[in-house]
Structure 1
Amino acid sequence: MLNFVEISKGCAKVLLLVFNILCILIALCTFGFAVVDIRVLRQYSEEQATGTVTGDVIILAASLLLIGVATLGCVGAGRENVKMLYLYVGFVMIMVILELLIAIYVSVQRFGLQFRVTDWIREDFYRNVTAEEQDQHDDLWNELQITYECCGLNGPEDYVALGHQITLSCCPRAYNARTENARKLLYKSCVESMTYYKDGCEEEILDILRSDADWLLGVAVISFWFEAASIVLAMWVSSHLKNSVQVYRHTVKY
């Protein structure tokens, strides 16, 4: 006859292992996102991105903690160790609270960053720069326009309104050309055929910041449900193992 209790325990162990492996994968993806995001935020001034970078550092630490806790859950389930499973449940409950606080902090910082970046990018685009600052200013906007595939603040018309030529970085093929002659020919063709970037950098950057915030929020929600399910499964497995030990001791005793 089938032992449904043992079968259910085995299924619960497998699901617990699967959920913990998924949590580890999510933590690794989040860790990678935070590393990349820190590099991207360096394009903005330190004053604008300080709080958000701090949020990314906290995300890095939380990702490492989640990997450690999930690994503990896998080991506890694999070895059928009741004490490790109870310890795992306690750590997961703490992680859920920490992740909630981190999600709130990061969301607030991301929302504030959108306003700070908007003010900064508008001021920087239209500000009068000295001859010494010109190269640094051009390098910044070249990097922004190539990275976000945009041109000007609200579009290439901004350069026309200021009486300037559309910058070379608005034409990616010309900007990436290896020789000066090829660069000039490709730039001329780009301007004449109007194949330069049409979207403004302000909206493109804000779209990226919004999508990053939405992605982090989605990860937090998914992690919460995985962790909640893991708590239930770990409690079920540990309770069953504890009962099995008690039954075994009672049988041996009598």
Structure 2
Amino acid sequence: MALSTNCWKYLVLTFNVLFAMSAVVLFGASGYLLYRLFVYRHFIGVNVEYPVILLLMMSIITCSIAWIGWRTAKSMHQIHVIITGILIVLVVVIEFACFVWAMVVWDSVDIDIKNSMTGYFNQMLGANQPESPDAIRWDRLHVKFECCGVNGPSDFGKKGAVPFSCCGQGPLDSQFKPYTSDCSALFQRGCGKPLHAYAREHLMYVAMTALLASVLQSTGIFCTFFLAQAIHKRRRASIRTSTMRESTFSAPDDSLLSPTAPAATLPKY
């Protein structure tokens, strides 16, 4: 029984090391994906970023739980091991919820992006400031995805001209002459579809990262609760052995009262 308990102990210790390493990898992956979505937050909306933000928070919490699991596995306290197992269950459930959430957002992201881009585009046109941060963000978007406006160059019909960025020139090239009516290489497609595909691709990465993390980390649930069961069995065996030993050494000597003992004789004078 002691050997079995020790095996589970070292297995749980090994899992906690891997648990912490997976948290570091999860932190890096979710941080990178959050950055990739955060760059275009003005166009795709903030709602798209919520699943990856939650996943990033869970990676930080996972590191703390891995440290707690290491300490409890070394101390071999059953109640602490059970609490650690419950915490791991919560982490796995929340990570799986991130997967579901990302897939839900992935399915409806086209509506969010269309509303966000249309509102932001109208705001940029209404300001009529070609050197403003909003206009420069649109210029960079045009150059990055080789697109123009939300649905195409016709979105700039009210202006009567399109920005240089719709011709592939960088945002700083149009500092003194932001609009032009002469462009031989005008991008004909709008930015809505390319940005929609970009957001869906990264949301799929977020969903797959959350699903993989939840599946791999769920193995620690079985290891932790099997360790708690092994500790419980070893404690019961230890109590049983201790009770038997105490009953053996504390039993009274009744040999003088046994029927086979010689009868007492009276002293002779």
Q: Conserved in 1, the CA contact under 8 Å of 2:148 and 2:191?
A: yes
The one-letter amino acid paired with 1:215 is Y
Separation of aligned partners in 2, 1:170 and 1:78: 65
Residue by residue over 1:187-208, the C-alpha shift from the partner in whole angstroms, topping out at 9 and shown as x without a partner, is xxxx88x7x9898633332222
Separation of aligned partners in 1, 2:187 and 2:69: 50
- Percent identity, aligned pairs only, is 11
- Taking the TM superposition and a 5 Å limit, the aligned residue runs for 1:130-209 are 130=126, 132-136=128-132, 138-146=135-143, 148-153=144-149, 158=153, 164=161, 167-168=164-165, 171=168, 201-209=191-199
Q: Which has the higher helix share?
A: 1
The one-letter amino acid paired with 2:208 is G
Count of matched residue positions in the alignment of Structure 1 and Structure 2: 233
| Structure-2 residue corresponding to 1:9 | 8
Match of 2:224 among 222, 234, 237: 234
Q: What is the root-mean-square deviation of aligned Cα atoms in Å?
A: 4.2
| Structure-1 residue corresponding to 2:179 | none
Separation of aligned partners in 1, 2:205 and 2:227: 32
Residue by residue over 1:79-117, the C-alpha shift from the partner in whole angstroms, topping out at 9 and shown as x without a partner, is 433222200111222333333444333433343333221
Structure 1 residue 209, shift from structure 2 partner? 0.9
Select between 132-141 and 230-239 the one with higher mean Cα deviation. 132-141
Note if 1:216 corresponds to 2:206: yes
Partner secondary structure for residue 77 of structure 1: helix
Separation of aligned partners in 2, 1:33 and 1:67: 18
Q: TM-score, with normalisation over the residues of structure 2?
A: 0.64
Q: TM-score, with normalisation over the residues of structure 1?
A: 0.67
Match of 1:82 among 68, 75, 78: 78
Note if 1:63 corresponds to 2:53: no
Note if 1:98 corresponds to 2:94: yes
| Structure-2 residue corresponding to 1:183 | none
Structure 1 residue 37, shift from structure 2 partner? 5.2
Q: Compared with structure 1, are the counterparts of its residues 98 and 13 closer, same or farther at alpha carbon in structure 2 (3 Å cutoff)?
A: closer
| Structure-2 residue corresponding to 1:129 | 125
| Structure-1 residue corresponding to 2:28 | 29
Separation of aligned partners in 1, 2:241 and 2:123: 84
Unaligned runs of 5+ in 2: 177-182, 246-269
Q: Compared with structure 1, are the counterparts of its residues 65 and 34 closer, same or farther at alpha carbon in structure 2 (3 Å cutoff)?
A: farther
Separation of aligned partners in 2, 1:175 and 1:134: 10
| Structure-1 residue corresponding to 2:103 | 107
Residue by residue over 1:154-211, the C-alpha shift from the partner in whole angstroms, topping out at 9 and shown as x without a partner, is 89x848x967567247646x6678xx9xxxxxxxxxx88x7x9898633332222112
Structure 1 residue 229, shift from structure 2 partner? 0.6
Q: Compared with structure 1, are the counterparts of its residues 123 and 13 closer, same or farther at alpha carbon in structure 2 (3 Å cutoff)?
A: closer
Separation of aligned partners in 1, 2:162 and 2:55: 42
- Structure label with greater radius of gyration: 2
Separation of aligned partners in 2, 1:95 and 1:19: 15
The one-letter amino acid paired with 2:27 is L
The one-letter amino acid paired with 2:197 is D
| Structure-1 residue corresponding to 2:42 | 43
Q: Compared with structure 1, are the counterparts of its residues 49 and 129 closer, same or farther at alpha carbon in structure 2 (3 Å cutoff)?
A: closer
| Structure-1 residue corresponding to 2:257 | none
Unaligned runs of 5+ in 1: 181-190
Q: Conserved in 1, the CA contact under 8 Å of 2:98 and 2:210?
A: no
The one-letter amino acid paired with 1:152 is C
